[in-house]
Structure 1
Amino acid sequence: MNETHTKKEKILLLVKIVFPILVTQVAMYLVTFFDIYMTSRYGTEDLAGVSIGSSFWVPVYIGLAGILMSITPIVAQLMGAKKKEQVKQAVQQGIYLSLLLATIVFAFFYFGIDSLLTLMNLEPAVADVASRYIQAMSIGLIPLFIYTTLRSYIDALGATRVTMVISLLSTPINILFNYLLIFGKFGFPELGGVGAGLASAITYWLILAIAAWIIHTRNPFSVYGIFRKWPKLSLSRWIEISRIGVPIGISIFVETSIFSAVTFMLAAYGTYTIAAHQIALNFTSLLYMLPLSISMGATILVGYEVGAKRFRDARQYSWLSVVTAVSFSFVSACILYFMRVEIAALYTSDPVVVELAVQFLLFAALFQLSDAIQAPVQGALRGYKDVNITFVMAVISYWIIGLPCGYLLANYTDFGAFGYWIGLIIGLTAGAITLSIRLLSIQKKIARHTTT
């Protein structure tokens, strides 16, 4: 990365950083996307089971992996401050931490998932698919967590095209193994939704191997010697990673788990409603990859400028990211609104599921603007290493405002199941407003200190 002087240069650098991240995020998400999509072509019960399984898997994985995302602002600021000699230790300690977190999550799923599913009173076939799907996915926990650390390191060096190429390889690998293991082709066992979980685990191991090979053999990564001369565990470095990463991880967990909580509550409405909700959520999450990618780009660029003490440039990158995301949110909303019938029909031919999914997609179109604001604002705040207040705001917005509103609307109005999605809109809007106020406050505080 390099210093920019004009808005045009900043826009070009933002695009240069964000586009590969976007392709990477889409490619990584397509692993889950095709799990859902290909399972939906297999059967409604398997789709519902994978939906429930994903609702446990995604927030737990993303929340803890969010801790490892702290490697991005840490390394970005070290690079901006010309402290390259400290990069290796930060990444290696991140790998150690990723192994610990993967072990914790594996134990949680292995010993606790069946008990949690029992509490939900699911249909036996749906509960069985959900349990075995999660167990199959857990085989890929270690490579997925380590890859998250390595990817954060690669992105922090500004080499986002490398992670783009790696992630692009993951999509065809996952589709191939999904085809073989879900439908039982070419002599492979027919596992249905469980096959989707096993296919994802295999994919995660393969992309970790590719990433490790590139980092070990190719510049500019190999010069840091990430896989050479492993140090002892450093408590001080773990504390630094955790101090930044834990609030990031919890914030992401709070945001993603609200969708999982809605899925669990919708279980009371039956298999068809769960399936329709998952279809809408699955496609909406694909569109969310754009503001999420802009958010990650904002973390890199803002962190780099803050490390170099170019606070004016950091502020410009922050709001340039927001404006870009908001502009594209109108396109996403139009896609969801005008093509909602076609989108639902892509997943299933069941008329009941299609009718419900079309209605869910209408509500999904309504929260595109809020998502487009809160995501890059959070990314910018991470670039400033301001994560604690962000976490508190996320908890209040999603769990104290959004979910209770959804519950009241679902149970005490005629909205029914759709009331939970209105609650999501309310929570995301509250988050967008409060986080924007926090970012403005941080920037004004820095401006006062730099002018005095």
Structure 2
Amino acid sequence: MAEPAAPSLWRTELGATLRLAAPLAAANLLQMLVYAIDVIFVARLGETALAASSLATTLFGLMMWCLIGLTGACAPLIAAELGRRAHAVREVRRSVRMALWLAAGTGLLAMLVSANGEALLLLSGQDAEVARQAGSFLAILLWATIPNIMAGVLRNFVSALGRPVFATAITGLAILVNALGNYVLVFGNWGAPALGLDGSAISSVITAFVMLGAYALAIRTDRRLRRYRVFGRWWRPEWQRLRDLLRIGLPISLIIMAEGGLFSSAAFLMGLLGQAELAGHTVALQVAALAFQIPFGVGQAATIRVGYHYGAGNVAAIAAAGKAALVVAVSYMIIPAALMILAPRFVLSLYVDPADPANAAMVGHAVGFLAIAAAFQLFDGLQAVLAGTLRGLQDTRMPLILALIGYWLIGFTTSVALGFFSPLAGNGIWLGLAAGLVVVSLLLGRRWQRRAVLGLVPA
């Protein structure tokens, strides 16, 4: 009777992964549109305002991704608690409560950094006027810090409890709120004052509070979610649970910083080569980032599915959940890779006009970069999902070491060597990015494969 069980388990996990990953991936794609709206409106204010907004949101966005990754450690903990026992209300509530505490505490530190944004940008050598406007922008945007991180915690909660569609719907609502806020406040429509760049920052703050409120409302009105009473006894500490969150979450946050730092450094290296190379890199990277949102959502789903079976002690189901996530990601990544190779100019037309002679140099570089991006799409998707499966096993410390080896020891050094000490130039920098992703995916894949030998799964 053991033989027929495997296909049935595999089909069950494939269906569960797709049902969970689809709305999460859609929410990730919509979140990119939320950020794009700010660029669309601010770009009409001029180059200085756009440069200031780009610098401010880069700094703010990196902090948000790291802190949402830190508090996102609640996802594998919640999933494991649900798998471990049928009535895990109290344990789930403790994880969410301490994650919200962590969001508030770390959010205050991030607000302090944002409050000194102008000084930090001046120290990095930025233009004084750009730094001044960026500092003013950050002085307003900092009020979105804590609601953004808390909304990330509640997103993990509703997703782990089988309600990922709320994440999609609420992110869609955020697009509407942000677009309306920019329309009214940036240019002074509907009788509002024209606040320019500051208006865009205010719109982002409003959007963050609306998202947090929408999650709270969804939790209070949904019967299954309401019974967990995640906002009850919010003042009560659970120090061991907080330590668990830090143990799992700190390496996740540092992995995000390592990967984000690699791609940020690539932009700096491109800038040393020339403006056309930097512009082509920026556009090509936007295309790659858009394609990445699907496997990123699959990785989030894998964390929950693997974490659930980890809590239940079901080794066979852990294997099936990981396999399902990997198959979904690999099957999808073939599509954007093919588009980047067969129709690069069509893909680039989502962001720029390839037929415009003024864009010729930029498009030429971007087409070459997309050819390399197509080659590493598979590995980019694999490392996202493998990282998610290992997080489901609450294994984050060694993946951090592997990420540092792959992204910086291999990726960055290869980018510098090929970009500046070979005729490949910009293509060499992208080959370095590809090398980093390939190495990380292989190292994480080896660790996932040896999970039983390494004692990562229940005996």
TM-score (norm 1): 0.90
Alignment of 1:2-21 (within 5 A): 5-21=8-24
Q: Does 1:328 align with 2:311?
A: no
Instruction: Work out the CA distance in 2 between the residues paired with 1:189 and 1:353.
Output: 37
Alignment of 1:162-241 (within 5 A): 162-188=166-192, 195-241=199-245
Are the aligned partners of 1:402 and 1:425 in contact in 2 as well (CA < 8 Å)?
A: yes
CA positional deviation for 1:17: 1.0
Instruction: Work out the CA distance in 2 between the residues paired with 1:147 and 1:105.
Output: 16
> What is residue 24 of structure 1 aligned with on the other side?
27
Q: Mind listing any 5+ residue stretches in structure 2 that lack a counterpart?
A: 1-5
Cα distance change, pair 449–66 in 1 and its aligned pair in 2 (3 A): closer
Q: Does 1:86 align with 2:91?
A: yes
Instruction: Work out the CA distance in 2 between the residues paired with 1:184 and 1:234.
Output: 47
Q: Tell which deviates more after alignment, 126-135 or 229-238.
A: 126-135
Instruction: Work out the CA distance in 2 between the residues paired with 1:190 and 1:425.
Output: 44
Aligned-partner SS, 2:423:
coil
Amino acid at match of 2:339: I
Q: Does 1:409 align with 2:413?
A: no
Instruction: Work out the CA distance in 2 between the residues paired with 1:374 and 1:401.
Output: 15
Amino acid at match of 1:314: I
Q: Does 1:246 align with 2:246?
A: no
Alignment of 1:346-385 (within 5 A): 346-348=350-352, 350-351=358-359, 353-385=362-394
> What is residue 296 of structure 1 aligned with on the other side?
300
Cα distance change, pair 413–48 in 1 and its aligned pair in 2 (3 A): farther
Alignment of 1:392-407 (within 5 A): 392-407=401-416
Identity %: 27
Amino acid at match of 1:323: V
> What is residue 59 of structure 1 aligned with on the other side?
62
Cα distance change, pair 265–436 in 1 and its aligned pair in 2 (3 A): same
Aligned-partner SS, 2:233:
coil
Cα distance change, pair 28–120 in 1 and its aligned pair in 2 (3 A): same
Instruction: Work out the CA distance in 1 between the residues paired with 2:21 and 2:110.
Output: 30
Instruction: Work out the CA distance in 1 between the residues paired with 2:100 and 2:449.
Output: 34
Instruction: Work out the CA distance in 2 between the residues paired with 1:199 and 1:278.
Output: 25
> What is residue 277 of structure 1 aligned with on the other side?
281
Q: Tell which deviates more after alignment, 210-219 or 71-80.
A: 210-219
Q: Does 1:152 align with 2:170?
A: no
Are the aligned partners of 2:56 and 2:138 in contact in 1 as well (CA < 8 Å)?
A: yes
Instruction: Work out the CA distance in 2 between the residues paired with 1:280 and 1:236.
Output: 44
CA positional deviation for 1:65: 1.4
Are the aligned partners of 1:110 and 1:135 in contact in 2 as well (CA < 8 Å)?
A: yes
* Offset from partner CA, 1:78-129 (integer Å, 9 cap, x none): 1111133211122111111100111111111212x33332244344555455
* Offset from partner CA, 1:400-430 (integer Å, 9 cap, x none): 1111211222222233344322211111111
Q: Does 1:317 align with 2:321?
A: yes
Amino acid at match of 2:374: A
Are the aligned partners of 1:48 and 1:271 in contact in 2 as well (CA < 8 Å)?
A: no
Are the aligned partners of 1:76 and 1:300 in contact in 2 as well (CA < 8 Å)?
A: yes
Aligned-partner SS, 2:450:
helix
Q: Tell which deviates more after alignment, 145-154 or 120-129.
A: 120-129
* Offset from partner CA, 1:347-396 (integer Å, 9 cap, x none): 34552544444444343333211111101100000011111100110111
TM-score (norm 2): 0.89
CA positional deviation for 1:10: 1.8
Amino acid at match of 1:401: I
Aligned length: 447
**Any runs of at least 4 consecutive aligned residues in structure 1 with deviations exceeding 6 A, and if so which?**
none
* Offset from partner CA, 1:34-69 (integer Å, 9 cap, x none): 334554566555444444334323322211211111
Instruction: Work out the CA distance in 2 between the residues paired with 1:96 and 1:75.
Output: 16
Within the candidate set 93, 100, 123, 1:95 is matched to 100
CA positional deviation for 1:335: 2.6
Cα distance change, pair 278–138 in 1 and its aligned pair in 2 (3 A): farther
Cα distance change, pair 436–41 in 1 and its aligned pair in 2 (3 A): farther
Cα distance change, pair 189–120 in 1 and its aligned pair in 2 (3 A): farther
Are the aligned partners of 2:393 and 2:456 in contact in 1 as well (CA < 8 Å)?
A: no
CA positional deviation for 1:156: 1.4
Cα distance change, pair 228–84 in 1 and its aligned pair in 2 (3 A): closer
Instruction: Work out the CA distance in 2 between the residues paired with 1:438 and 1:138.
Output: 39
* Offset from partner CA, 1:250-279 (integer Å, 9 cap, x none): 112211222122233444456555444333
Q: Tell which deviates more after alignment, 61-70 or 281-290.
A: 281-290
> What is residue 106 of structure 1 aligned with on the other side?
111
* Offset from partner CA, 1:179-237 (integer Å, 9 cap, x none): 44455544555566665444333211111111111212321111111122224333222
Are the aligned partners of 1:48 and 1:274 in contact in 2 as well (CA < 8 Å)?
A: no
Q: CA RMSD in A?
A: 2.7
CA positional deviation for 1:286: 1.7
